[in-house]
Amino acid sequence: MAPQEPVQSNDNEFESALERAWQTQHDNHAGAVADYIPELSKANPDDFGLAIATVTGKIYAIGDTEIPFTIQSISKAFAFCLALEVAGPELVASRVGVEPSGDPFNSIMFDPGTNRPFNPMVNAGAIAVAGILYEHLGADAFDFMMERFSDAAGRPLSLNQAVYRSEAETGHRNRAIAHLLLANEALAVPPDDALDLYFRQCSINVTASDLARMGATFANMGTATDTKMPAFDLAAVRSTLAVMFTCGMYDYAGHWAFDVGIPAKSGVGGGIVGVVNRQLGIASYSPRLDPKGNSARGVGAFHSLTDHFGLHAFDCTNIGSSFISSLIR
Ligand code: DON
């Protein structure tokens, strides 16, 4: 029998970090499942999963990482990235800003200087982005979005019809926002078309494993890590990560940047996706939300993982561009 090669594996590092993060949050029962969209209230409050996907195509997971839930506001980051590619940054900038608002996700406040939504991560900005996609792709916009999201996840995703119907029936505040966008010329298509796309994109089913892979696709500059499918445009990924860093966690975004320090996006379905540039996608799923609308266990688990691995963008172990390092040596 040939002598066995010694196994060089970092698998245990990821697995034990996930286990530790999961344990720190398992008994955290704080928060409540979203019920303002009636269909969302059917989620099992105890579900809890964490996943890490690497840019080399590996995935590590613990808990309920194969349970489907709707992507909700996490779709806003990926849709913004597609709008930048399809319509170009100038047109996008003429409809939506990139300024953190400090407001809740469903705020009706626009930037008083521009009469535009503050950023694409609040509902107003995301509906403007859906309008841009509809303006450029028409009735094909949702299929286009589905295809790219699926490429990023590495498998075909599907629409949760029940959540879509529930959103469309009850989204009166979003309808008000869409009409204000039209009045302010931040929307160039009928409000119902932008809203329908927005409600659909929020109702795409994903698992925590899917979200981790989608995050890893961003970390990998837009190319899916296992299938090598190009899902997103390189320059658009950079811009999207910047907006996720400053605006992705709503009125908790400042605390998140301070404590966790990676671009991220949350959704009221209970998911959070985080991106460690050029390295990892991280995802959590637990549907109990804190008062800001972020998954309570998810926020705690990300704190644990960032501390364990030193993921914060300004951690002392992150030394930045090797080009600059070579110049200042
Ligand atoms: O606009 C809405 O109400 C939802 N479809 C999306 C909201 C969402 O996920 C906000 N996130 N925390």
Q: How many residues does the chain have?
A: 329
Helices 234-247 & 208-219 angle (0-180, nearest 10) = 120
The CA distance from 281 to 220, in Å, is 9
Q: pTM for this one?
A: 0.95
Q: Is 250 marked active-site?
A: yes
The catalytic residue among 268, 273, 275, 299 is 268
Contact 281, 275 (CB under 8 A): yes
- Ligand 1 neighbour 160 (Cβ under 6 A): no
For 169, other C-beta atoms within 10 Å of its C-beta total 12
The CA distance from 118 to 114, in Å, is 9
Residues 6+ apart with CB under 8 A from 57: 225, 226
The CA distance from 97 to 94, in Å, is 8
- Ligand 1 neighbour 252 (Cβ under 6 A): no
Give the tokens for residue 175. Answer: 């309808």
Q: Is 268 marked active-site?
A: yes
The CA distance from 139 to 102, in Å, is 34
Helices (H) and strands (E) in the chain, counts: 13, 10
Q: How far is the CA of 200 from the centre of ligand 1 (A)?
A: 12
Q: How far is the CA of 128 from the centre of ligand 1 (A)?
A: 14
pLDDT 10s digit of each residue in the chain, 329 long? 444 454 446 779 999 999 999 999 999 999 999 999 999 999 999 999 999 999 999 999 999 999 999 999 999 999 999 999 999 999 999 999 999 988 888 888 899 999 999 999 999 999 999 999 999 999 999 999 999 999 999 999 999 999 999 999 999 999 999 999 999 999 999 999 999 999 999 999 999 999 999 999 999 999 999 899 999 999 999 999 999 999 999 889 999 999 999 999 999 999 999 999 999 999 999 999 999 999 999 999 999 999 999 999 999 888 878 888 889 87
Between the alpha carbon of residue 249 and those of residues 40, 82, 90, 296, the distances in Å are 19, 20, 25, 12
